[in-house]
Structure 1
Amino acid sequence: MLFQILLTLSIRFFLFDFVLFKSLRNHLKTKGYFFRKLLSCPFCQGFWSGLGVFLATHLIAYNLSFLLPMLSFGFVTAYLSMMTTAIFYPLIDKFEKNYSTL
């Protein structure tokens, strides 16, 4: 489970914070409400990334005993995503300002 959480947070960072995708994210934000909300909400990013990782690493079953752990994992990763964003965003901004000319 720890591996899956770290994988989720890594994928979320890669897709939503990595500097190489910044221009693509800024372009998509102008394309509608859905992209604007998804690309600016760390809670949403963590939830959907968590659901993706959970579905990729578990056998899919159509019952309540599958749905509850899936949603639980999504909400746990959403909360962790929000917390890591609050902690690391100032550090990421500082790093990008210092090393953007390299």
Structure 2
Amino acid sequence: MQVELVSLGSSSHPLLLIRVSPDEQVHETNRGECFLQVGDESRHLNFVQHQELLYNRGPSQFDGSEVRAATMSGMDAEQLQIYRTAVGSDADDSTA
């Protein structure tokens, strides 16, 4: 990222110019907003579009995301045991 103070001729107010180089890291504002440069246009991304960009560019993986509303009580015990066996886990419901 490059930051530069630019004078616009006779204007008494300088312009702060911030250049963010394209890379694999997703940048966002201090308010969590994310923009995507498309041609000469900056498009504001909504939450879903921002998440998709993070999954595509960043270290985040969709299948590694937390599901906050999920509980163990909603899980089928037999299916859980099949999964535990498949991944080699010896965890029980109290530690999962």
TM-score normalised by the chain length of structure 1: 0.22
Query: Quick check: which one's helix share is greater?
Result: 1
Query: Quick check: which one's strand share is greater?
Result: 2
Q: Which has the larger radius of gyration?
A: 2
Higher relative contact order (CA closer than 8 Å, sequence separation 6+): 1
